[in-house]
Amino acid sequence: MGYKVVVVGATGNVGREMLNILAEREFPVDEIAALASRKSLGTEVSFGDRTLKTQDLDQFDFTGWDIALFAIGSDATKQYAPKAAASGCVVIDNSSLYRYDPQVPLVVPEVNADAVMGYTQKNIIANPNCSTAQMVVALKPLHDRAKIKRVVVSTYQSVSGTGKEAIDELWNQTKGVYVPGQEVEPKVYPRQIAFNVIPHIDVFMEDGQTKEEWKMMVETKKIMDPSIKVTATCVRVPVFVGHSEAVNVEFEDFLDEEEARDILREAPGCLVVDKREAGGYITPIECVGEYATYISRIRQDQTVDSGLNLWIVSDNLRKGAALNAVQIAEVLGQRALKKG
Is 157 annotated in some ligand binding site? yes
Environment class of 102 (CB within 10 Å of its CB; exposed 0-12, middle 13-18, buried 19+): exposed
269, 137 in Cβ contact below 8 A? yes
Is 79 annotated in some ligand binding site? no
Q: Could you say which of 89, 130, 234, 287 is catalytic?
A: 130
Is 316 annotated in some ligand binding site? yes
Is 333 annotated in some ligand binding site? no
Q: Could you say which of 89, 234, 243, 287 is catalytic?
A: 243
Is 42 annotated in some ligand binding site? no
β-bridge partners, 52: 45
Sign (positive or negative) of CA dihedral 225, 230, 234, 239: negative
145, 249 in Cβ contact below 8 A? no
Q: What are the two backbone dihedrals, phi and then psi, of residue 111, each rounded to the nearest 5 degrees?
A: -110, -50
Is 134 annotated in some ligand binding site? no
β-bridge partners, 69: 7, 92
Sign (positive or negative) of CA dihedral 89, 95, 99, 101: negative
What is the full DSSP assignment across 70-101?
E-S-HHHHHHHHHHHHHTTPEEEE-SSTTTT-
Pinpoint the alpha helices (H) of the chain: 13-24, 74-86, 109-112, 130-146, 164-178, 211-223, 257-266, 284-287, 323-332
Is 182 annotated in some ligand binding site? no
Is 163 annotated in some ligand binding site? no
Is 172 annotated in some ligand binding site? no
Q: Three-state DSSP class for 313?
A: strand
Active site residue 143: no
313, 1 in Cβ contact below 8 A? no
C-alpha–C-alpha distance, residues 47 and 165, integer Å = 23
Is 64 annotated in some ligand binding site? no
136, 129 in Cβ contact below 8 A? no
Q: Which amino acid is at 264?
A: L
The catalytic site residues sit at 130, 243
Q: Which residues are annotated as a binding site?
A: 11-14, 39-40, 99, 157, 160-161, 236, 316
Binding site listing for phosphate: 99
| Binding region for substrate | 157, 236
Binding residues for NADP(+): 11-14, 39-40, 160-161, 316
